[in-house]
Amino acid sequence: MAEERLKSATRILTQRGILIAFILFMVGFSVVSDRFMTADNLQAVFRQAAIIGVMALGVTLVVICGNLDLSVGSLLSLSTVLVVDLHDKIGPISAIAVTLLVALAVGAVNGLLVGVARLNSLIVTLGMLSAIQGLTLIYTGGQNVDIQNQDTTWFAIFGRGAILGVPTQILIFVVLAVVMHVVLAHTPFGRRVYASGGNPTAAVFSGIRRGRVVLATYMTSAFCTGIAAIILGSRVMGSQNNVGQGYELLVLSAVILGGTSLLGGSGSIAKTVIGVLILGFIQNGLLLLGFAYYVQWLVTWVVIILAVWLDIAAKRGRMFSPFA
């Protein structure tokens, strides 16, 4: 009986490991730092997390569908450069529209190559990462871009403004997260995404047009990155050519940290939001404690591996791999 209880305790610990770790983090930091649990600080964390968060929402869809999207970092660079550069040339509304259209087009290329031509997603998006980075540099000729009338443009609302006291970027993140959650969990399309990722062959045998589903996930991911670029461009009011470099793997870390499996077929938006927040809180907490910013990378390393390990251990019912 005691053994049973111990077992179920272990199960809860491993299954809800990431949530428990999250709570422990929060409690730990609030004990150590009295500035941690303040409204200002929490808002700062959310604001910081909004960009990675918005991108991660889209990537979650791609990953659940059984694919990877490594092109989002480069696409963030391209979109930010575009929206900032075009802002002064054609006005904010047109700039936003063009940026989102370009992002969607990039997503469509990814989606067609992976979904219709059925090429390996890691390599396709790796190639796109390189190609988009090159296009960005060609577009700017290697120069940085910025917005001239930074103080007067209404474009500032996305990255610097607030609506009803809530910073706009947080609002965008929350609204997008809710919409995506509903789409994924409560629409036929969402179910198709899970089925296509869980077993692509069975999905096709069930009449699902897998290529279209994959295409839609990539376009969603690119669209989310486009939105993130608008927030970033508005926050910085300028952009470097390589501003998004490395984001693809940070975003993926957040998705994995939340507990969405890279094998596809499982995961959720809620998990990703938790993953994003954990990354955000690790960063913020360590900075508050006076550690250099790069210490968070070390902690993230340990946390990612522990989180995925616990997840896998719970599924296979033993801690160590059968090959150990």
The CA-CA-CA angle for residues 222, 183, 311, to 5°, reads 85
The CA-CA-CA angle for residues 287, 292, 295, to 5°, reads 90
Which CB, 288 or 295, lies closer to other proteins? 295
Q: What is the CA radius of gyration of the chain?
A: 20
Which CB, 44 or 309, lies closer to other proteins? 309
Residues 158, 115: Cα–Cα separation, whole Å: 33
Residue 256 is encoded by which pair of tokens? 């994995």
Which CB, 229 or 304, lies closer to other proteins? 304
Which CB, 92 or 107, lies closer to other proteins? 107
Which CB, 41 or 266, lies closer to other proteins? 266
Q: Helix 121-140 vs helix 72-90: angle between axes, to the nearest 10 degrees?
A: 30
Residues 183, 259: Cα–Cα separation, whole Å: 19
Which CB, 113 or 172, lies closer to other proteins? 113
Query: What are residue 207's phi and psi, to 5 degrees?
Result: 85, 10
Which CB, 165 or 207, lies closer to other proteins? 207
Q: Give the shortest CB-22-to-other proteins separation in angstroms.
A: 17
Instruction: Report which of 199, 168, 178 is spatially closest to residue 263, judged by C-alpha positions.
Output: 199
Which CB, 81 or 96, lies closer to other proteins? 81
In the DSSP assignment, the letter for residue 105 is H
Residue 265 is encoded by which pair of tokens? 């077929």
**Three-class secondary structure of residue 315 per DSSP:** helix
In the numeric block, the tokens 């404690």 are attached to 289
Which CB, 153 or 266, lies closer to other proteins? 266
Q: Give the shortest CB-237-to-other proteins separation in angstroms.
A: 24
Q: How many helices (H) and strands (E) does the chain have?
A: 13, 4
Q: Give the shortest CB-219-to-other proteins separation in angstroms.
A: 18
Residue 164 is encoded by which pair of tokens? 């009803």
Query: Which residues 6+ apart lie within 8 Å of 195 measured at CB?
Result: 202, 203, 206, 208, 265
Q: Give the shortest CB-111-to-other proteins separation in angstroms.
A: 13
Q: Give the shortest CB-27-to-other proteins separation in angstroms.
A: 24
Q: Give the shortest CB-295-to-other proteins separation in angstroms.
A: 7
Residue 228 is encoded by which pair of tokens? 């993130």
Q: Give the shortest CB-128-to-other proteins separation in angstroms.
A: 6
Instruction: Report which of 54, 133, 105, 98 is spatially closest to residue 215, judged by C-alpha positions.
Output: 105
Q: Give the shortest CB-205-to-other proteins separation in angstroms.
A: 5
Query: Which residues 6+ apart lie within 8 Å of 111 measured at CB?
Result: 214, 215, 216, 217, 218, 219
Q: Give the shortest CB-198-to-other proteins separation in angstroms.
A: 4
